[in-house]
Amino acid sequence: MILVTGGAGFIGSNFVLDWLAQTDEPVLNLDKLTYAGNLENLASVQGDARHVFVQGDIGDSALLDSLLAQHQPRAVLNFAAESHVDRSIHGPEDFIQTNVVGTLRLLQSVRAYWQVRDEARRAQFRFLHVSTDEVYGSLSATDAAFTESNKLEPNSPYSASKAASDHLVRAWLHTYGLPVLTTNCSNNYGPLHFPEKLIPLMIVNALAGKPLPIYGDGLQVRDWLYVKDHCSAIRRVLQAGRVGEIYNVGGWNEKPNIEIVNTVCALLDELRPRADGGSYRSQISYVQDRPGHDRRYAIDASKIERELGWRPAETFESGIRKTVQWYLDNQAWVTHVQSGAYREWVQTNYAQRQ
């Protein structure tokens, strides 16, 4: 069995679904079910004996100790995190509590569990920490893409909290010998993405006839990674990654935000035309940029290809079409996640930027 934390969130739930589609090995899924954790993401494995779901917090040491002792996983994969930069600007303490304190407590419980395994099980055990390219800071237009040797220079409360968790994972390897692996991924997109992030927000707002808010000039550049490609990379790192190593996972798709939005609009024009015959592009609205907005992220994913033979299967063109189609086909899911709390957050974040 493996233990997945944060397995009801966007990336975590995609990973759980892909894992169970690829293997019969059971998953113990621990998720706090905050606003972005959604059991509907896991509806297709409801009743599957290979999937054991527990609602709980990675900061709850007693719960962690109990689950580890009861289920004895061969690996722990940590997806649990507060992950939205804008939310971290409005309320950084939640990010410190989950991403730093939560990771610390998870590491402590896992270390205690790992230390009392027999020698063979200790040798086989892995702790895989899922992190982000945002810990590396911002690049200029001419800078080389981030490699695993880049120093950490986080610029937002979110990325600072993730950088802190990365440091903790490294320290538990070097101080205690815990066999850890770390992945730093670029911007994910795809099915089950909570509609506060750029791509799902644009799809949802476009279909609702609302403005499509673009921060600043819209020329901030990100590397885009289809979520199922990210899942396959994590499986490969867990299978064959070298203990203590960091693996950058990217999609080789650097694109400015405004190009992403125009692509989404063009796909919606094709797949779900507006009743008035106009283009969804007419709903684009430039708004005040967020504080400290990093200009460019870019991932050099050559190490994971060279050492582990992994490359993304999707191009951006194929992945974004699948993503838009998924949202068109799953309007009930979208409606259910857009609760009162979600609407209040959108009002809080965007009203002041108009």
Active site residues: 133-134, 158
Distance CA 113, CA 333 (A): 38
Contact of 334 with 204, CB cutoff 8 Å: yes
Dihedrals phi, psi of 132, to nearest 5 degrees? -135, 155
What residues form DSSP beta bridges with 187?
A: 224
Task: Calculate Rg over the CA atoms of the chain.
Answer: 20
CA of 328: how far to CAs of 80, 130, 200, 207, 225, in Å? 28, 29, 11, 9, 20
- Buried b vs exposed e over 280-310: b needs ≥16 C-beta within 10 Å? beebbeebeebeeebebbbbbbebbeeebeb
Pairing of strands 254-256, 221-226: antiparallel
**Bridge-partner residues for 226, per DSSP?**
189
The three-class DSSP label of residue 286 is strand
Amino acid at 95: F
